[in-house]
């Protein structure tokens, strides 16, 4: 007889899923309770140590429940088991920031966790009666409040069987769906003819997953890297090498490409549930995403209905598109964003932004709770973006002025909280007096201690506050303090702590994550394997150092299938963007270069600049050059473009036209990556400058950090991030094998060895030119293309 399949679920997940009820309400301190959980593990250990010799801490417990065609294993760790002569008590500890006076009875969910452990332990030890104790501990004062109840084993058994019975249909669905999915994967084949280098890519991804390793892929545009990563990952899921794919990306357009890849595979009768997570603000049915029952009808009673909505959807459809999710949420009158997160638990692939996995405040707790090993396969697209995004996610800052403002806001209603804020303000004032520009510090633990006091004061204040406007302000500040403390908890040698007097006079204390690799690893460890891929992962050692802690990660350079003769790559050596060289003569020369490029062949061009200011200067000279001409049209990126303005800008490139279009953009901005203008929609890019970030304190601190470790600080802080922008901008021109185009680099600095070292292999045919001879190169290239066509 076949061995029955085992489904595992943690005690906490089981009770939080089955027993949730009532309204969705972000005004309540549920979010704060979660923060308390993060800080709670330390307090747990402290309480457990002072409980005496008859207190057993962190006792692993599990029970297997035979169900139809499978076995359900419920498991977890009891915080404490107190063994006395006449009675046994299960202790469940919760660290809270709320004043204990406000806790009049234990929460249903907390109590249910303790009852699960009581039942499992009672059955194991054949007990007739067992006590359950809820211990609430205030995180700041360490004061305790306990609630104790006694249960007979019979009543616990009836209660527990009912709980498991409610989960059984979900587990049964999981088993049946997995069997159907895996059977369908067997028949799926690579849907296209392999391009050059693509088969090697597919094999490398599969091998990496098989060996549970990490892989870095530098793959030029046009290689087909999305399908080359998605296909082997799907095959690996079918063979039990992973449980779920997370396709992570920083840009909306790359999400669409991933969705299309899965849809293409589904045409081969693949059964695979794929969901794309949409930001709350975009999917919310209300004008403003204010999640409470007074402001949103979908928040009222949300938890009473959401499980039915999710079950109906996953059982009756494989379609998890945004439109389907919105229809389902409307049908059941639940929040579409929260419902989508719940649906994602039952999906085989989740397409989402990086922050859903890596951000310590926004990650999906359903998947990435502490100690979870989920068997995930991470496919990380546009991975070059993850260095800066990682730094942002794991850094935190506080402003002295915000603390002072908060003190003014609360002082009449809560003098005690105002006093705590004043103590923090004084600490920052002392640091401000020692700081002229920026100052690196050894540590700020003394400030963190005071901020803990502020946190619990804010928590109490938020319990009482009536004014909705004030609540918003206080809550925003609360989250700032919380983020600062959470980051302070994980400070290590990958951080620099510094104060800075900003130009506008504001005084900042920052915890800067210089190397995010360790923090990223904490989440990647919960998966089986990770594939980082991008058209611009050069130099690979830079990305390996900042995205991974392993020394034996794989790396491959995918060969381009693009015909080299379809691209002309020119480097203008008689211009420079150095500050010392800027001026009217240089701006005019750049304008003449641009004119020669766009005159050589009618079509669409993008011109990328190092900054808005530089762009505007050259743009003015270019307008003089084309004065009175109707054959050249210009559009220019503005500094504060909304989504609609961006779309209009890009749509201009899609229009049929009789004249030439020159789009002036900023390197590293919204048009320098993630846009897909194929064939004649873009036939040239002019890249002005080396893309080096502006010199600022953050960059100088990065440079110093890497210099101190003998790691070429200038390259890490300036050169590599700058060249990434250049490579991304250049990548706009060649999108498919049929594309033809010119890429012109304008800055004599590109001649330098350290720049040339980072050029991709496919740039080997680079030619140098000067303004007076560039026209000959362009005319000859386009004449060749005319003859071929």
In this predicted structure, the answer to whether residue 30 has a pLDDT above a threshold of 50 is no
Residue 676 has pLDDT above 90, yes or no: no
Residues 78 and 59 in one domain: yes
Tokens representing 681 are 């929609």
Burial of 403 from C-beta contacts in 10 A (0-12 / 13-18 / 19+): buried
- The string of pLDDT tens digits covering residues 139-165 is 778 888 999 999 999 999 999 999 999
Segment 591-600 shows an average pLDDT of 97
Whole-angstrom distance, CA of residue 340 vs CA of residue 763: 44
H or E element in which residue 201 lies: helix 198-210
Burial of 175 (0-12, 13-18, 19+ CB in 10 A): middle
In a domain, 376, yes or no: yes
Has residue 550 got a pLDDT over 80?
yes
Looking at the structure, tell me whether residues 611 and 462 fall in a common domain. Answer: no
Let me know whether 457 and 532 are in one domain. no
**Same structural domain, 238 and 295:** no
Q: How far apart (Å, rounded) are the C-alpha atoms in residues 148 and 168?
A: 30
Same domain, 142 and 10: yes
- Mean pLDDT calculated for residue range 646-659: 91
Residue 232 CB partners (closer than 8 Å, separation 6+): 202, 203, 205, 206, 209
Is 177 inside any structural domain?
no
In this predicted structure, the answer to whether residue 688 has a pLDDT above a threshold of 50 is: yes
For 450-473, the pLDDT digits (tens) are 999 999 899 888 888 878 788 889
CATH number at residue 197: 3.40.50.300
Indicate whether 617 and 761 sit together in one domain.
Answer: yes
Predicted confidence band of residue 390 (pLDDT cuts 50, 70, 90)? very high
Domain final residue, candidates 493, 527, 561: 561
pLDDT value of residue 44: 66
pLDDT at 628 over 80: yes
- Position 643 scores a pLDDT of 82
Integer Cα distance of 198 and 202 in angstroms? 6
Same domain membership, residue 139 and residue 37: yes
Contact criterion met (CB below 8 Å) for 298 and 335: yes
User: What's the pLDDT band for 95 if we cut at 50, 70, 90?
Assistant: confident
Residue 1 — pLDDT band, cuts 50, 70, 90? very low
* pLDDT for residue 288 is more than 90: no
Q: Is residue 181 assigned to a domain?
A: no
Question: Do residues 223 and 359 both lie within one domain?
Answer: yes
pLDDT of residue 38: 47
**Residue 580 located in a structural domain:** yes
List the end-to-end C-alpha distance of the chain, in Å, as a whole number: 67
**CATH assignment of the domain containing 106:** 3.90.320.10
Per-residue pLDDT reduced to its tens digit, 476-518: 999 999 999 999 999 999 999 999 999 999 999 999 999 999 9
Instruction: For 335-365, write each residue's pLDDT tens digit.
Output: 999 999 999 999 999 999 999 999 988 888 8
Q: 575 and 717 in one domain?
A: yes
Mean pLDDT of the chain: 91
Q: Is residue 182 part of a domain?
A: no
Predicted confidence at residue 611, as pLDDT, reads 95
Spatial distance between the Cα atoms of 252 and 353, rounded to a whole number of angstroms: 8
Q: Which domain holds residue 283?
A: 279-346
Among candidate residues 179, 195, 275, 182, the one with its CA nearest the CA of residue 227: 195
- Does residue 329 surpass a pLDDT of 80? yes
Could you give the CA distance from residue 376 to residue 43 in angstroms, rounded to a whole number? 31
Residue 442 included in any domain: yes
Give me the DSSP letters along 322-352: HHHHHHHHHHHT--HHHHHHHHHTT-SEEEE
The pLDDT score that the predictor gives to residue 34 is 45
Question: What is the number of other CB atoms lying within 10 angstroms of the CB of residue 558?
Answer: 22
Residues 600 and 572 in one domain: yes
Domain presence at residue 176: no
Last residue of a domain, one of 312, 346, 380: 346
Most confident listed range (97-106, 186-195, 367-376)? 186-195
**Residue 180 lies inside a defined structural domain of this protein:** no
Domain finish residue from 136, 171, 206? 171
Please check the confidence at residue 31 and state whether its pLDDT lies above 50.
Answer: no
| pTM of structure | 0.92
**Confidence grade of residue 37 (pLDDT, cut at 50, 70, 90):** very low
Q: How confident is the model at residue 32 (pLDDT cuts 50, 70, 90)?
A: very low
Closest among 478, 474, 488 to 396, alpha carbons compared = 488
Q: Is the pLDDT of residue 291 over 80?
A: yes
Confidence bin at 674 (pLDDT 50/70/90):
low
- Is the CB of residue 10 less than 8 Å from the CB of residue 63? no
pLDDT beyond 50 at 178: yes
Same domain for 698 and 553: no
CA 60 vs CA 43, 75, 88: distances in Å:
19, 8, 16
Flag the least confident range among 16-30, 537-551, 566-580.
16-30
Q: How far is CA 758 from CA 123, 389, 724, 761, in A?
A: 64, 22, 9, 9
* Rounded distance between C-alpha atoms, residue 417 and residue 409, angstroms: 10
User: Looking at residue 274, what is its pLDDT?
Assistant: 98
**C-beta contacts of 166-170 below 8 A and 24+ residues apart:** 166/18, 167/9, 167/14, 167/17, 167/18, 167/72, 168/67, 168/68, 168/72, 169/311, 170/311
The total domain count for the chain is 5
Q: What is the mean pLDDT of residues 362-379?
A: 81
Q: Are residues 335 and 483 in the same domain?
A: no
Which sign, positive or negative, has the C-alpha torsion 395, 399, 404, 406? negative
pLDDT band at 690 (very low <50, low <70, confident <90, very high): very high
């Amino acid at each position: 007889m076949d061995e029955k399949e085992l489904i595992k679920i943690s005690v906490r997940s089981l009770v939080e899923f089955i027993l949730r009820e009532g309204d969705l309400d972000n005004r309540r301190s549920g979010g704060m309770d979660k923060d308390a959980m993060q800080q709670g593990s330390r307090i747990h250990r402290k309480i457990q140590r002072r409980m005496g010799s008859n207190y057993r801490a962190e006792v692993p417990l599990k029970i297997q429940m035979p169900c139809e065609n499978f076995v359900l294993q419920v498991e977890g760790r009891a915080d404490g088991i107190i063994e006395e002569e006449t009675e046994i008590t299960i202790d469940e500890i919760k660290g809270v920031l709320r004043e204990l006076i406000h806790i009049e009875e234990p929460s249903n969910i907390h109590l249910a966790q303790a009852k699960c452990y009581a039942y499992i332990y009672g059955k194991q030890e054949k007990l007739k009666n067992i006590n359950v104790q809820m211990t609430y501990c205030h995180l700041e004062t360490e004061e305790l409040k306990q609630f104790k109840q006694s249960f007979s084993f019979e009543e616990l058994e009836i209660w527990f069987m009912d709980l498991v019975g409610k989960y059984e249909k979900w587990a049964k669905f999981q088993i049946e769906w997995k069997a159907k999915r895996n059977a369908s994967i067997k028949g799926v084949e690579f849907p296209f003819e392999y391009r050059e280098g693509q088969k090697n890519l597919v094999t490398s991804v599969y091998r990496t997953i098989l060996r549970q390793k990490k892989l870095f892929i530098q793959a030029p545009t046009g290689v087909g890297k999305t399908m080359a990563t998605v296909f082997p990952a799907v095959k690996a899921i079918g063979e039990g090498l992973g449980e779920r794919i997370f396709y992570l990306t920083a840009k909306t357009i790359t999400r669409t490409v991933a969705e299309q890849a899965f849809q293409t595979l589904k045409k081969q009768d693949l059964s695979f549930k794929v969901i794309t997570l949409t930001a709350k603000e975009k999917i919310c049915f209300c004008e403003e995403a204010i999640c409470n029952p007074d402001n949103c009808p979908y928040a009222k009673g949300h938890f009473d209905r959401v499980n039915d909505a999710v079950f109906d959807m996953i059982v009756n459809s494989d379609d998890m598109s945004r439109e389907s999710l919105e229809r389902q949420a409307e049908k059941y009158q639940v929040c579409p964003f929260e419902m989508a997160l719940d649906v994602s638990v039952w999906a085989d692939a989740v397409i989402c932004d990086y922050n859903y996995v890596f951000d310590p405040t926004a990650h999906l707790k359903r998947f990435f709770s502490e100690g979870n090993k989920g068997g995930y396969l991470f496919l990380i697209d546009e991975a070059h973006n993850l260095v800066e995004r990682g730094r942002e996610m794991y850094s935190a800052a506080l402003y002295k002025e915000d603390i002072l403002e908060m003190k003014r806001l609360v002082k009449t209603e809560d003098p005690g909280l105002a006093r705590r804020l004043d103590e923090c303000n004084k600490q920052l004032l002392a640091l401000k007096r020692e700081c002229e520009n920026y100052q690196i510090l050894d540590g700020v633990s003394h400030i963190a201690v005071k901020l803990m006091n502020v946190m619990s004061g804010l928590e109490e204040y938020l319990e009482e506050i009536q004014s909705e406007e004030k609540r918003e302000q206080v809550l925003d500040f609360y989250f700032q303090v919380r983020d600062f403390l959470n980051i302070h908890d994980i400070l290590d040698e990958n951080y620099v702590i510094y104060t800075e007097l900003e130009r506008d006079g504001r005084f900042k204390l920052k915890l800067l994550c210089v190397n995010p690799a360790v923090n990223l690893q904490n989440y990647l460890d919960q998966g089986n394997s990770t594939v980082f891929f991008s058209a611009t992962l050069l130099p690979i050692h830079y990305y390996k150092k900042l995205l991974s802690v392993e020394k034996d990660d794989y790396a491959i350079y995918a060969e381009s299938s693009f015909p080299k003769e379809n691209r002309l790559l020119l480097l203008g050596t008689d211009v420079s963007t150095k500050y010392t060289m800027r001026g009217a003569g240089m701006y005019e020369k750049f304008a003449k270069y641009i004119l020669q490029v766009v005159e050589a062949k009618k079509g669409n061009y993008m011109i990328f600049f190092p900054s808005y200011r530089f762009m505007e200067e050259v743009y003015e000279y270019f307008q003089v050059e084309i004065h009175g001409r109707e054959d050249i049209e210009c559009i220019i990126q503005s500094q504060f473009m909304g989504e609609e303005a961006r779309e209009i800008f890009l749509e201009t490139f899609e229009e049929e036209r009789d004249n030439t279009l020159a789009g002036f953009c900023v390197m590293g901005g919204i048009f320098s990556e993630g846009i897909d203008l194929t064939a004649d929609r873009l036939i040239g890019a002019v890249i002005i400058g080396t893309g080096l970030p502006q010199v600022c304190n953050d960059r100088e601190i990065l440079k110093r950090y890497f210099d101190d470790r003998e790691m070429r600080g200038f390259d890490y802080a300036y050169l590599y991030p700058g060249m990434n922008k250049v490579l991304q901008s250049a990548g706009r021109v060649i999108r498919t094998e049929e594309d033809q185009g010119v890429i012109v680099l304008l800055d004599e600095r590109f001649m330098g060895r350290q720049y040339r070292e980072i050029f991709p292999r496919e740039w080997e045919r680079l030619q140098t030119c000067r303004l007076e001879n560039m026209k000959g190169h362009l005319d000859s290239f386009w004449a060749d293309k005319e003859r071929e066509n």
